[in-house]
DNA sequence: CATATAAATGACCATATAGTCATATCTGAC
DNA sequence: GTCAGATATGACTATATGGTCATTTATATG
């Protein structure tokens, strides 16, 4: 215990109060993510959050201005995490085919490992275009997301870059990925979704390659396997 | 006026009261569709609806039990309309390529001509898998939708039909189509979306063909045009 | 240990919304 | 024209939720 405190002593010299506040805030974030996923962003009340976090209602307002603030924060956080997955890879990517494969994998793992964040992003995405009384602040994260996709794809599209074209492609990829998972959630059980991804993988990438007008350079591992 | 009444006389002998009630109900439906699209399903209140319809609040409850009932009704109606578009075509469809082309066109026109219904479906869709306090009744329509897609696609997938595979494909197609439009709405202006569809069309269909493991039988109109 | 500061609390108030119902308006039959 | 039945209305009640704040509990300091 003492050791722990010493080790953390130089860690920005957080007082015990600060750490308590941090813990509380984290509890609120975790609880909010849970209930947002369960009830939906709109249907969730502040008390849903504080009850789930096992905290008093007033506590919420010490940490967030209102529901929108915490929702925006979580959407932003989730996008950050997804972008981090999109950016980082150990493999060196040289072809469009590899790039798409990586994109698919990253999204898929995000969907599996951060299911709640996926659902949250899905919800937030919708809200963006509704002329709501609240929330224009949510547009930013999705723009960042689309721009990251553009950045990853553009090196492989060659030719002079028409921003409009790249944007279309990014929308297509994002739509494809998010759309598939979201409909799969309706039409299948979770295990079925999981067992579908592997066989879908090649077709998925091939179809996106085709979408980009480039067929994968005859990779041996599949001829006409068509094993979706 | 008299003529009108005579013409309509045999039309189920609707009394003027009946017609008044029908008109009122239609007004409510139209108003609800509008405000659902603007504010979102959850954020919309009953008074939003009646005000938009220029009717008293109590009137709403003479026609619908609650918000969920009218929402469910509208979702169902919208799915019906989309399915009708998917089913009906003057062209005789013999290849997968044609089938996909038709599917894309039908969805695209629905998106353009019934924008509000598209948004509504998109919202309702989202609600489905949330463990919500309300609404499991909304799941049905989307299941019908997926099943219709399966029905349209299955003749072209050949082989012994594994229902699971067909279901995957339906999810992929639905996800692709809905997903693209939804992200396009974020990333582009409406006119840009419109002007994107035409050039995207071929790539769209080709990519879906590829997704299904079948390439389009070398149609002449495009070699390597790649004009997305 | 005593005192001061920060964090957490939940009772409390104000407001918004769902849903009701007595009343008013419109319609149909005679 | 009049009466009965159907439809529409909006003031009203009950409830739920957002947001506040005086009080309590935990932490820091000397």
Distances (CA, A) of B164 to A155, A177, A183, B119, B168: 37, 19, 14, 28, 6
Q: Would you call B196 an interface residue with chain A, using a CB distance cutoff of 8 Å?
A: yes
Q: Which residue has the higher pLDDT, B165 or B184?
A: B184
User: Distance between CA atoms of A171 and A12, rounded to whole angstroms?
Assistant: 42
* Nucleotides in chain C with any atom closer than 7 Å to protein CB: 6-12, 16-22, 26-29
pLDDT for residue B225 is more than 70: no
User: Distance between CA atoms of A125 and A142, rounded to whole angstroms?
Assistant: 7
Round the average pLDDT of chain B to a whole number and report it.
82
* Closest CB from A38, A167, A179 relative to B188: A167
Q: Could you tell me which residues come within 8 angstroms of residue B56 by beta carbon, excluding any fewer than 6 positions away?
A: B50
User: Distance between CA atoms of A161 and A50, rounded to whole angstroms?
Assistant: 49
Instruction: Mark A55-69 as b/e (b = at least 16 C-beta within 10 Å).
Output: beeebbeebbeebbe
What would the DSSP string read from start to end of A83-141? HHHHH--SSPP-SHHHHHHHHHHHHHHHHHHTHHHHHHHHHHHHHHHS--SS-STTHHH
Q: Would you call A123 an interface residue with chain B, using a CB distance cutoff of 8 Å?
A: yes
Closest approach of A50 to chain B, Cα-based (Å): 18
CATH of A2-213 given 1.10.357.10, 1.10.3720.10, 1.10.287.3510, 1.10.8.60: 1.10.357.10
Q: Which chain A residue shows the shortest CA-CA distance from B214?
A: A226
User: Distance between CA atoms of A128 and B192, rounded to whole angstroms?
Assistant: 18
* Closest CB from B133, B176, B213 relative to A176: B176
Give the Cβ contact number of residue A14 at 10 Å: 13
Please report the pLDDT score of residue B70 as a whole number.
Answer: 97
Q: Which residue has the higher pLDDT, A135 or B87?
A: B87
> What are the φ and ψ backbone dihedral angles of A158, each rounded to 5 degrees?
55, -165
Quickly give B114 CA vs D5 C1' distance in Å: 39
With distances taken from each CA to the C1' atom of nucleotide C7, the closest residue turns out to be A21
Distances (CA, A) of A127 to A80, A131, B4, B35, B217: 19, 8, 45, 14, 41
Q: Would you call A201 an interface residue with chain B, using a CB distance cutoff of 8 Å?
A: no
Choose, out of B75, B134, B171, the residue to mutate when testing the contact with A (most A CBs < 10 Å): B171
Give the tens place of pLDDT for each residue, B4-18: 343 444 445 788 889
User: Distance between CA atoms of B121 and A47, rounded to whole angstroms?
Assistant: 29
Strand D at less than 7 A from CB of B24: yes
Distances (CA, A) of A212 to A149, A158, B224: 13, 11, 11
Would you give the end-to-end CA distance of chain B in angstroms?
53
Closest approach of B134 to chain A, Cα-based (Å): 9
Q: Would you call A189 an interface residue with chain B, using a CB distance cutoff of 8 Å?
A: no
Distances (CA, A) of A12 to A15, A19, A93: 9, 11, 38
Output the six-digit token pair for B93. 């469809």
Give the tens place of pLDDT for each residue, B105-143: 899 999 999 999 999 999 987 777 776 655 566 778 998
What percent of chain B lies above the pLDDT cut of 90?
43
Please report the pLDDT score of residue A14 as a whole number.
Answer: 84
Q: Would you call A38 an interface residue with chain B, using a CB distance cutoff of 8 Å?
A: yes
Strand D at less than 7 A from CB of B151: no
Which of A102-116, A125-139, B164-178, B209-223 is predicted least confidently?
B209-223
Strand D at less than 7 A from CB of A88: no
Q: Residue with structure tokens 């769209």?
A: B204
Give the tens place of pLDDT for each residue, B31-43: 999 999 999 999 9
Quickly give B201 CA vs D2 C1' distance in Å: 67
- The tens place of each residue's pLDDT in chain A, 228 residues long, gives 333 343 444 445 788 899 999 999 999 999 999 999 999 999 999 999 999 999 999 999 999 999 999 999 999 999 999 999 999 988 889 988 888 889 988 999 999 999 999 999 999 887 776 765 555 677 789 999 999 999 998 888 776 667 887 888 888 889 888 888 888 888 888 888 887 777 677 777 777 777 666 544 444 343 333 333
Cβ-based contacts (< 7 Å) between B 156-185 and strand D: none
Strand D at less than 7 A from CB of A47: yes
Q: Would you call A187 an interface residue with chain B, using a CB distance cutoff of 8 Å?
A: yes
Output the six-digit token pair for B181. 């439009």
* Closest CB from A125, A130, A204 relative to B38: A130
Decide: A47 and A67 in contact? Cβ < 8 Å.
no
Question: Does the distance separating the beta carbons of A203 and B207 come in below 8 Å?
Answer: no
User: Distance between CA atoms of B105 and B85, rounded to whole angstroms?
Assistant: 9
**0.95 surpassed by pTM:** no
Quickly give A21 CA vs D26 C1' distance in Å: 11
Averaged pLDDT for residues B81-103 = 91
* Nucleotides in chain D with any atom closer than 7 Å to protein CB: 5-12, 16-22, 26-29
pLDDT for residue B100 is more than 90: no
Largest CA distance in chain B: 63
């Amino acid at each position: 215990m003492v050791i722990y405190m010493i080790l953390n002593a130089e860690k920005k010299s957080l007082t015990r109060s600060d750490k308590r506040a941090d813990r509380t805030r984290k509890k609120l974030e975790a609880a909010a993510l849970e209930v947002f996923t369960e009830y939906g962003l709109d249907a969730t009340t502040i008390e849903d959050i504080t009850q789930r976090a096992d905290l008093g209602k007033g506590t919420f307002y010490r940490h967030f201005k209102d529901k929108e603030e915490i929702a925006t924060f979580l959407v932003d956080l989730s996008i950050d995490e997804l972008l981090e997955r999109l950016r980082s890879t150990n493999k060196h990517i040289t072809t469009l085919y590899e790039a798409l494969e990586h994109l698919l994998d990253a999204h898929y793992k995000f969907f599996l490992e951060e299911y709640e964040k996926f659902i949250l992003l899905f919800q937030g995405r919708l809200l963006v275009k509704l002329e709501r009384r609240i929330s224009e602040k949510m547009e930013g994260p999705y723009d960042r997301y689309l721009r990251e996709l553009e950045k990853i794809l553009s090196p492989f599209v060659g030719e002079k870059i028409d921003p409009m074209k790249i944007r279309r492609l990014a929308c297509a990829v994002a739509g494809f990925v998010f759309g598939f998972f979201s409909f799969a959630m309706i039409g299948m059980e979770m295990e079925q979704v999981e067992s579908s991804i592997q066989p879908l993988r090649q077709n998925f990438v091939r179809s996106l390659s085709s979408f980009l007008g480039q067929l994968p350079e005859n990779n041996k591992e599949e001829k006409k396997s068509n094993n979706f």
